[in-house]
């Protein structure tokens, strides 16, 4: 059985990382076009760096850990004999920390920086600024940006994701509002024979495409659903 999982901010919410669109969400107090578009970065790189620096510091300050849903997915992948791909829209590293192996972070990774001049991708845990020099190329100053995907940019791994979606037998979408494309369109690319399961606190604009909609917290519902699959009771 080929299993494709898509995760969004809801899976990390209970680990203490705010979602984007909820009350007190990440967009609260920020205009999306200021902090999550290439135009916003060109207009005011310092503002964008400050937004991501704060999130990066929180991610590594020791207060945030993978939750039961991240751990259950990693355990499921370890025990699964077919193909498995975990596509995450999240830029945190909680799936990797939980032990998931085949993770595709389609919107990038907060703990990486990308050189706008060369395209090189560097592991990155410090703050970034317009004055940051590349440690390996000290003459290159101010060329690094967060290795994330902003609106208007093409997410990573598109060919791999959609090719896998077309031949998957089980698709599970967890904790995503399904309003941001192309991620929200993955479900529509799964074949008619595929079983589609959505786990979320609330309905989403894509809910009607799923045969099974489970409403509740990811920390509870993801381990429960994966265990029911393993036991053959679902």
**Residues that bind ligand BJW in the complex, under the rule CB under 6 A:** 8-10, 13-14, 19-22, 25, 36, 89, 91, 107, 148-155, 158, 175-177, 179-182, 200-202, 204, 217-218
Question: Looking at beta carbons only, is 1 or 212 nearer to ligand BJW?
Answer: 212
Question: Looking at beta carbons only, is 53 or 169 nearer to ligand BJW?
Answer: 53
How far, CA to CA in Å, does 180 sit from each of 20, 29, 32, 93?
11, 20, 13, 20
Q: Per the residue annotation, which of 49, 70, 95, 107 is the catalytic one? A: 107
For the CB of residue 132, give the shortest distance to ligand BJW in the complex, in Å.
19
The residue number with the shortest CB distance to ligand BJW is 10
For the CB of residue 129, give the shortest distance to ligand BJW in the complex, in Å.
18
Question: Looking at beta carbons only, is 11 or 74 nearer to ligand BJW?
Answer: 11
For the CB of residue 119, give the shortest distance to ligand BJW in the complex, in Å.
18
Question: Looking at beta carbons only, is 122 or 140 nearer to ligand BJW?
Answer: 122
Rounded-to-integer distance, Cα 146 and Cα 56, Å: 10
The count of other CB atoms within 10 Å of the CB of residue 106 is 21
Q: Tell me whether strands 3-7 and 133-134 are parallel, antiparallel or unpaired.
A: unpaired
Q: Tell me whether strands 3-7 and 84-88 are parallel, antiparallel or unpaired.
A: parallel
171 CB burial (10 A radius; 0-12, 13-18, 19+):
buried
30 belongs to the catalytic site: no
For the CB of residue 183, give the shortest distance to ligand BJW in the complex, in Å.
6
Catalytically active residues are 107
């Amino acid at each position: 059985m080929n299993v494709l999982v898509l995760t969004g901010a809801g899976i990390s919410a209970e680990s203490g990382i705010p979602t984007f669109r909820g009350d007190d969400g990440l967009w609260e107090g920020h205009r999306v076009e200021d902090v999550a578009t290439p135009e916003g970065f060109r207009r005011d790189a310092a503002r964008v760096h400050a937004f991501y620096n704060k999130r990066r510091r929180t991610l590594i300050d020791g207060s945030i850990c993978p939750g039961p849903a991240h751990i259950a997915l990693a355990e499921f992948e370890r025990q699964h004999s077919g193909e498995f791909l975990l596509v995450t829209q999240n830029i945190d590293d909680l799936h990797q920390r939980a032990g998931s192996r085949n993770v595709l972070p389609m919107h990038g990774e907060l703990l990486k920086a990308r050189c706008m001049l060369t395209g090189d991708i560097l592991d990155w845990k410090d703050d970034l600024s317009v004055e940051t020099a590349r440690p390996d190329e000290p003459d290159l100053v101010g060329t690094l940006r967060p290795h994330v995907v902003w609106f208007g940019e093409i997410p990573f791994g598109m060919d791999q994701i959609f090719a896998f979606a077309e031949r998957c037998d089980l698709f599970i979408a967890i904790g995503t509002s399904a309003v941001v494309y192309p991620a929200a369109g993955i479900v529509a690319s799964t074949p008619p024979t595929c079983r589609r399961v959505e786990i979320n606190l609330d309905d989403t604009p894509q809910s009607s495409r799923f045969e099974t909609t489970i409403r509740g917290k990811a920390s509870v519902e993801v381990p429960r659903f994966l265990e029911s699959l393993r036991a053959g009771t679902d």
